A and B are shown apart, each in its own frame.
Chain A
Amino acid sequence: MTRQLQRVLFLFLLTASTLAQGGEAARIIRDTQLKAEPFSDAATLQELKGNTQVTKESRKGGWYQIKVGDKAGWVRMSVLRLGTEQAQGSSGLGSTLQFLQTGRSGASDVTVATGLRGLDAADLTNATPDHKALEKFKQHKISPKAAKKFASTAKLKAHKMAYVKIEQHQPESSQESDGGGVEEFFGE
């Protein structure tokens, strides 16, 4: 296959997946720039304010392609949250409070089919340990060799990468919308 053909096919697939996914309601959580391409040094199309409602079209690495008004462009994954404000929390307390709210539901709201079982805290505290099921579970075994073969059929290549050390002084109560996010430590 020629390089050009590959390129055309790639663009086609990208467009097709974008169309298939359709837009998804999303929100910009802090001031940022709408970029022409998914790169930090790409041209800036527009300044975006925190709390702007947008439509997410697709994702490429750590960038989301979005539509805002009549413009389309790219923003960093870290400045966007899927869904509407009501569906999101910035802290553990926030998530507790959300249960008391009666706002609109999130864009990806999935209706849970009835009649199927859930799992709550009481199920765990009242559980009778099932050692028979444990023995059955112990039969779940995949050899490293089989796992490597499984990876290579999908062209997954393992490589070394160090864990990322972070600054010890994380802001404990960073708000999603106040621009005081942890990125500032790294000057994104």
Chain B
Amino acid sequence: MMQQRFISKTSILGATLLCLSLLLPVNVSAGGLFGGMLGGDGNGNEIDIGRLFKSAKQAFGEVDEEQEAKVGDEAIAVLLGAVPLLDNDPIQRYVNKVGRWVALQTERPKLPWRFGVLDTTDVNAFAAPGGSVFITRGLLERMGSEAELAGALAHETVHVLKRHHLKAVQKSARLDLVVMFAETRVGDEDRENLNKIASGFKELYARGLDKGDEFEADRMGVVIATRAGYDPYGLPSVLQTLGAMNPKDGALALLFKTHPAPGKRLDMLSVLFDKLDPYATQPQLQQRFQKQLAALKKNP
């Protein structure tokens, strides 16, 4: 473990641990912290307090935001290697404005949120660690309002908020990102490790997240879109549209392979409807959306 290399003076370690214990959630076991940190190699490395804090966090399997962004870059490169961005600045800007507004209502408003429309007729949406969200042109063209777009983007922001992909790629590809990054000095480009991460994402995007993660993204997504002032029923409306499509339509193949069926998702979401009703008159913004869509269809 990397953090062991930086520990040589137990007194400073003790003081730091005391500080950490005040910052960490109560359910974190102090035993685990000691277990991971004691027994340093004592080779006299200079103590870097910032690094020590980072290492303590890493001892619990959580990468920091800088590392999350690096993982995200590999994930995005994979996605864009499979399907290009739509070459249409006005629609990209519009989706970014909707998405950025929605992301401001989340618990991670300061992430460098970015949104992209993918140039494919396939119906789908994706997220990547660090604050990136993608929607396909095929899905966009089947929507009827900005509230629907906001609902779908909000669903994707939850995957970022809850670090669903980070957790899944570590589990499935047996990647210990913490160790991987600890072995790489800041500023170093460890291509070999980054390629392993890219491979993990190829499999993950093709296979999809756990169903529980998708249901959670639906539940939290409708709340986030509602917070942003949109009609709360945007995401449920998108699910209705998907459920009504012919499931043999090839444009749905990957979505249906990687997500629970739309009808099931609606069923799971319906427990929230009573809580959403007080906000049911919030705007759908059909006209603003239709105007953008018309321009896209006219000038593809």
Asked if A164 is at the interface (CB within 8 A of a chain B CB), the reply is yes
| Besides A98-B248, A106-B247, 16 other A-B contacts (C-beta < 8 A) | A60-B280, A82-B240, A82-B244, A87-B247, A99-B247, A110-B245, A112-B249, A118-B120, A130-B80, A134-B77, A143-B100, A151-B229, A155-B229, A157-B229, A163-B220, A183-B270
Query: Closest Cβ of chain B: how far from A141's Cβ, in Å?
Result: 7
Q: Which residues of A contact B101 (CB under 8 A)?
A: 147-148, 150-151, 156
B227 touches A158 (CB 8 A): yes
A156 touches B283 (CB 8 A): yes
Asked if B219 is at the interface (CB within 8 A of a chain A CB), the reply is yes
Asked if B6 is at the interface (CB within 8 A of a chain A CB), the reply is no
> Given A62-B280, A92-B261, A147-B101, A118–B211 Cβ distance below 8 Å?
no
Contact with B along A63-86 (1 / 0, CB 8 A): 000000000000011100111000
Of the listed stretches B29-37, B42-50, B54-62, B104-112, name the one at the interface; the rest are far from the partner chain. B104-112
Closest residue of chain B to A159, judged by CB? B227
Separation of A99 and B232 alpha carbons in the complex (Å): 31
8 A-B pairs whose Cβ atoms sit less than 8 Å apart in the complex: A61-B281, A113-B121, A117-B121, A129-B81, A140-B116, A142-B99, A144-B104, A156-B282
Q: Which residues of A contact B136 (CB under 8 A)?
A: 119
Majority DSSP secondary structure for residues of B touching A: helix
Interface centre among A98, A136, A161 (most CB of B within 10 A): A161
Q: What are the 4 A-B residue pairs with the smallest beta carbon separation, nearest first?
A: A61-B280, A83-B244, A78-B270, A129-B77
Among A101, A119, A124, A181, contact of B78 (Cβ-Cβ < 8 Å): A124
Closest residue of chain A to B150, judged by CB? A156
> Given A140-B92, A161-B227, A182–B268 Cβ distance below 8 Å?
yes
Separation of A38 and B172 alpha carbons in the complex (Å): 46
Q: Which residues of B contact A169 (CB under 8 A)?
A: none
Asked if A47 is at the interface (CB within 8 A of a chain B CB), the reply is no
A90 touches B82 (CB 8 A): no
Query: Closest Cβ of chain A: how far from B189's Cβ, in Å?
Result: 11
Q: Which residues of A contact B74 (CB under 8 A)?
A: 129
Asked if A7 is at the interface (CB within 8 A of a chain B CB), the reply is no
Q: Which residues of B contact A112 (CB under 8 A)?
A: 121, 138, 249-251
Interface centre among A99, A101, A129, A142 (most CB of B within 10 A): A129
Among A81, A88, A89, A140, contact of B96 (Cβ-Cβ < 8 Å): A140
Separation of A129 and B200 alpha carbons in the complex (Å): 12
Of the listed stretches B7-15, B20-28, B177-185, B202-210, name the one at the interface; the rest are far from the partner chain. B202-210
Asked if A170 is at the interface (CB within 8 A of a chain B CB), the reply is yes
A95 touches B80 (CB 8 A): no
Separation of A162 and B222 alpha carbons in the complex (Å): 11
Closest residue of chain B to A167, judged by CB? B271
A130 touches B243 (CB 8 A): no
Separation of A188 and B120 alpha carbons in the complex (Å): 40
> Given A62-B273, A156-B229, A120–B254 Cβ distance below 8 Å?
yes
A59 touches B203 (CB 8 A): no
Asked if B19 is at the interface (CB within 8 A of a chain A CB), the reply is no
